[in-house]
Amino acid sequence: MSLSDEQNRLFDRFVYHLADGARPTRDTFLAFGSLGQLYRLMPSLQANKPDWAPELREALNVRYAERWKKQRAGIVRGTPGLKAKLSVPADQIPKAWQRAIKEMTLARVQVDRGVLTIDDRVPPSRKVIAKLEYTVRQLAFAATDAGLKPALNMQCVRAFLLASKSRKTRPVTRRSRLKELMTFAQWLDEAAHEGIINAMRRHANQLARLAGRQRKRKEDWLIQNPIEVVDCWMIAEEMLQEALAAPSGSNARLDLALDALAIALAINVPLRIGDLHRLQIGNHLTRSFETSTWTIALRCEKMGNEYAAEMWPELTPFIDAVVLAGRPDTVLATRLREVDSQFLFSKHGRKFSELWISKVWYRHIGTGEHIIRTLWHEEALDDADTWMSLVLCGQEGGSRTARHYQVKQQKRLAGKRAKSLMQAARSRRRS
């Protein structure tokens, strides 16, 4: 890339500004000039000192944020988003429901802090509470739409389920919503709601049987799009190489490295996106310079089980590339101190949403991240492989999912055994 005289002069000015020749920081660039000057400096810096480009990129982001804030100053915010079409606002559900959700949320905060309470009720996780609140808002909407007064009774529940079914939701989805309503009823007063809880439980069991006769969406997708774990890994490797070939300090380089990591990490650690998106460097992820590997340790959000493992050495370049963000390997130790406690999946200090990882999988693989959990179970050829898949996915406990895959593997082996016995019998008869 040929540089103009003006670009060369700007680079010389920056070197003079640097004076002592030490590696510049973000603040060094901010002290050097305006947004326009820093933007014009990038090409000459990438040509002469590409290792410094990541710090310049950080300074540019600060300047962009300053400009955006200045442009937005004095602008009155409009009305937020579209009105919900399937639920009522949180302040329009019955007052008793509002109080119950507030109590549940406060109790969860206390439990998370390790504070002992006199309440013998155990609140669900924050994520379940959020889902539960939206479900009761939908219940109130469906009841009102059917001409009923919102209440936790079977009449309103039937209206809710009928409305959900009309939107062609799957039985497994309706069953999940029923389980949330059962949890809510138990929190309100289990004894007072015993009748409705039992009725919902019976209906949930019916939906479970119906769901068992249907394939999951991801299984339908796999039939139409046969793919294996190794195919996903090769896509991630190709993206990492493309990222490392991109200019240092460019957004394209960081974006590609993050996408590559979102796929590669999920292959090695096939947890749910709710766990992967909240991984923090230094807290959940630590690097060993002795073995050149990363380890992971966290409590899984859904089941509450502990997940700990040393990750594959092949994954190290993926995580290192995101941590370094274009910087040379020699500053890795320093960089790890700088990003300590930062979220792994973030960009310039902004954490990505929980759905971001699945969006990456949709973009490059064709479906969401949870397909990798199915793919690992599809790889299982015997009991040892099934156990391996369960451990990888954090399902090795006595959960219903673990039992499902173990039974599925036993059925597969039984089928092979029956086939071999029949072949042997036919061979004997022919002889």
- pLDDT value of position 212: 67
Q: By CB neighbour count within 10 A (0-12 exposed, 13-18 middle, 19+ buried), where does 259 fall? A: buried
As a whole number of angstroms, the distance between CA 302 and CA 124 comes to 10
- pLDDT value of position 248: 85
- pLDDT value of position 319: 96
- pLDDT value of position 210: 78
- pLDDT value of position 415: 47
As a whole number of angstroms, the distance between CA 243 and CA 254 comes to 7
Mean pLDDT throughout 151-173?
89
Mean pLDDT throughout 311-315?
89
As a whole number of angstroms, the distance between CA 372 and CA 263 comes to 9
pLDDT > 70 in the chain, percent = 81
Among 239, 247, 231, CA closest to 371: 231
pLDDT confidence band for 239 (50 / 70 / 90):
very high
- For the cut 60, the answer to whether the pLDDT of residue 417 exceeds it is no
- For the cut 60, the answer to whether the pLDDT of residue 422 exceeds it is no
- pLDDT value of position 82: 46
Most confident of 49-53, 113-117, 118-122, 341-345: 341-345
Which tokens is 26 given?
């973000």
Instruction: Scan for tokens 């500004």, then name that residue.
Output: 17
As a whole number of angstroms, the distance between CA 138 and CA 274 comes to 23
Degrees, nearest 5: CA angle 136-140-142: 110
Decide which of 407 and 43 is more confident: 43
Q: 343 phi and psi, to 5 degrees? A: -70, 135
**Do 174 and 207 contact (CB within 8 A), yes or no?**
yes
**Do 273 and 369 contact (CB within 8 A), yes or no?**
yes
Range of weakest confidence among 83-87, 340-344, 352-356, 362-366: 83-87
Range of weakest confidence among 66-70, 211-215, 232-236, 363-367: 211-215
Give the pLDDT confidence of 48-103 residue by residue, as tens digits: 888 888 888 888 888 888 888 887 766 655 545 445 578 899 889 999 999 999 99
pTM over 0.75: no
Average pLDDT value over all residues in the chain: 82
pLDDT > 90 in the chain, percent = 32
Q: How long is the chain? A: 431
DSSP for 164-220, written as a single string: HHHTT--HHHHHHHHHHHHHHHHHHHTTTTHHHHHHHHHHHHHHHHHHHTS--HHHH
Decide which of 349 and 384 is more confident: 349
